[in-house]
C-alpha cells in the first residue's frame, strides 16, 4: 500500500472526532463537529453547569504526540488570553487537572463566509463587500494593536453573526516582535505566512475578492485574472492591488481604514461604523 495512503488512513482512525453525546471533563456534552483543520477539531458543546453552548477545540491526537503540535496549541491558548476582544471568542479558564489538548471558548452562533458564499449562494455587491471588509479591517486593527498577527484570515475563519463579525482560529497566529514589521516585496515568498502585518493584508485582499466574486458569472470558459473578470470601481481596484502587493503595500490597518474612508463610494458606509 502507498505510504501516503497508509498515513492518511492511520490519521483518520487515530484523529477520529469525539462522538455526539460524549461527555468531556464531566461537564461538556459534544453536540456536533463544527470543523476540522490540520491541527485541531472544533466542536459545539453544551455546558451542563450553565446550559450555555461553548466551542471546544481539540488538538488532533497525532499532533499532540509532537512537541511542535503541543507548542502550537499552547501558543494559541496564550494569544487568545492576551487578546481579550469582543470580536474574538474568549477562551474559558481551565482547572489544572483539565487536559492541555483542549480549549474551551465562547461559541459564536453564525455562519462563516465560506458557507454563506458556497453553500447558501449569498451574493455581495461591491458596496456590500466593502461594508463587510471595512468591519473586518477594524477588527484586524485591534488584533495588530495587541501585537498579534493572525496569518490565516480566510473565509472559513470570519463569521457573520447577526449584525456583528467575528474572527476565529488563531492556530497560526504569532506575536509581532517589537515594532510592527512590513516586509519588502519579493518573489518566492509565502505571503500569507510571514510574521508581518502585510501577511494579514494579503489575506484580506483574497477575502475581499471572494466577496466580489460571489456574483460573478463567467462569460467564457477561458480563465482570466480578477482584473480582467471583475468590473470594479477604480478605488476598489487600486486598493486590491495594494492589498495583494502588486503595487506598494499598505503599512498598517489604520492606513487601510483611512484609505477606505477617503473613497468616494464608501464614505456613507464608513460614517455609520
Q: Convert the pLDDT of each residue in 69-103 to its tens digit.
A: 888 888 999 999 999 999 999 999 875 555 578 99
**Cα-based angle 173, 145, 82 (whole degrees, multiple of 5):** 55
**Predicted pLDDT of residue 180:** 46
CATH 3.30.470.20 for the 12-106 domain, yes or no: no
As given in the structure block, the three cell numbers for residue 10 are: 492511520
- Indicate the SS3 state at residue 194: coil
Q: Where are the alpha helices (DSSP H) in 126-252?
A: 126-145, 197-213, 226-229, 234-243
- CA gap 125, 109 in Å, rounded: 24
How confident is residue 62, by pLDDT bands cut at 50, 70 and 90? confident
* Centroid of chain to Cα 58: 17
Q: Please provide the average confidence, as pLDDT, over all residues in the chain.
A: 87
Q: What is the pTM of this model?
A: 0.87
| Residue spans of beta strands (DSSP E) within the chain | 23-24, 28-36, 40-47, 53-59, 102-106, 111-112, 148-149, 158-161, 164-167, 174-175
- CA gap 188, 78 in Å, rounded: 31
Torsion angle, alpha carbons of 168, 93, 57, 147, to 10: 40
pLDDT in tens, 7-30: 555 565 678 899 999 999 899 999
Residue 269 CB neighbour total at 10 angstroms: 19
- Provide CB contacts within 8 A for 122, sequence distance 6+: 116, 214
> How big is the chain by its Cα radius of gyration, in Å?
20
Higher pLDDT, 218 or 134: 134
- Residues annotated as part of the active site: 152
How confident is residue 109, by pLDDT bands cut at 50, 70 and 90? very high
Residues spanned by CATH 3.30.200.20 within the chain? 12-106
Q: In CATH, which superfamily holds the domain spanning 111-271?
A: Transferase(Phosphotransferase) domain 1 (1.10.510.10)
**Predicted pLDDT of residue 4:** 52
**Cα-based angle 95, 96, 97 (whole degrees, multiple of 5):** 95
As given in the structure block, the three cell numbers for residue 103 are: 480549549
- CA gap 128, 115 in Å, rounded: 17
Torsion angle, alpha carbons of 179, 169, 193, 225, to 10: -120
pLDDT in tens, 140-185: 999 999 999 999 999 999 999 999 999 999 999 999 875 545 555 5
pLDDT in tens, 110-152: 999 999 999 999 999 999 999 999 999 999 999 999 999 999 9
57 known member of a binding site: yes
Phi, psi (degrees; rounded to nearest 5) at 56: -120, 125
Residues spanned by CATH 1.10.510.10 within the chain? 111-271
First to last CA, the chain: 57
Amino acid at each position: 500500500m502507498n505510504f501516503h495512503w497508509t498515513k492518511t488512513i492511520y490519521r483518520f482512525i487515530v484523529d477520529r472526532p469525539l462522538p455526539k453525546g460524549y461527555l468531556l471533563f464531566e461537564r461538556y456534552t459534544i453536540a456536533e463537529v463544527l470543523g476540522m483543520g490540520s491541527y485541531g477539531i472544533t466542536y459545539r458543546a453544551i455546558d451542563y453547569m450553565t446550559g450555555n453552548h461553548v466551542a471546544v477545540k481539540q488538538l488532533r491526537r497525532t499532533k499532540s504526540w509532537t512537541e511542535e503540535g503541543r507548542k502550537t496549541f499552547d501558543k494559541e491558548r496564550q494569544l487568545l488570553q492576551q487578546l481579550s476582544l469582543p470580536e474574538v471568542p474568549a477562551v474559558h479558564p481551565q482547572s489544572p487537572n483539565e487536559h492541555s489538548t483542549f480549549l474551551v471558548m465562547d461559541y459564536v452562533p453564525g455562519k462563516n463566509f465560506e458557507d454563506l458564499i458556497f453553500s447558501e449562494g449569498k451574493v455581495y455587491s461591491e458596496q456590500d463587500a466593502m461594508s463587510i471588509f471595512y468591519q473586518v479591517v477594524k477588527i484586524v486593527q485591534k488584533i495588530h494593536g495587541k501585537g498579534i498577527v493572525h496569518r490565516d484570515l480566510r473565509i472559513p475563519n470570519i463569521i457573520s453573526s447577526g449584525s456583528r463579525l467575528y474572527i476565529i482560529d488563531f492556530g497560526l497566529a504569532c506575536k509581532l516582535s517589537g515594532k510592527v514589521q512590513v516586509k519588502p516585496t519579493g518573489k518566492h515568498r509565502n505571503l500569507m505566512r510571514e510574521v508581518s502585518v502585510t501577511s494579514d493584508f494579503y489575506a484580506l485582499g483574497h477575502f475581499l475578492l471572494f466577496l466580489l466574486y460571489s456574483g460573478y458569472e463567467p462569460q467564457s470558459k477561458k480563465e482570466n485574472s480578477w482584473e480582467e473578470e471583475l468590473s470594479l470601481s477604480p478605488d476598489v481596484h487600486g486598493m486590491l492591488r495594494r492589498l495583494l502587493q502588486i503595487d506598494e503595500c499598505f503599512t498598517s490597518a489604520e492606513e487601510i481604514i483611512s484609505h477606505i474612508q477617503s473613497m468616494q463610494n464608501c464614505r456613507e458606509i464608513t460614517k455609520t461604523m
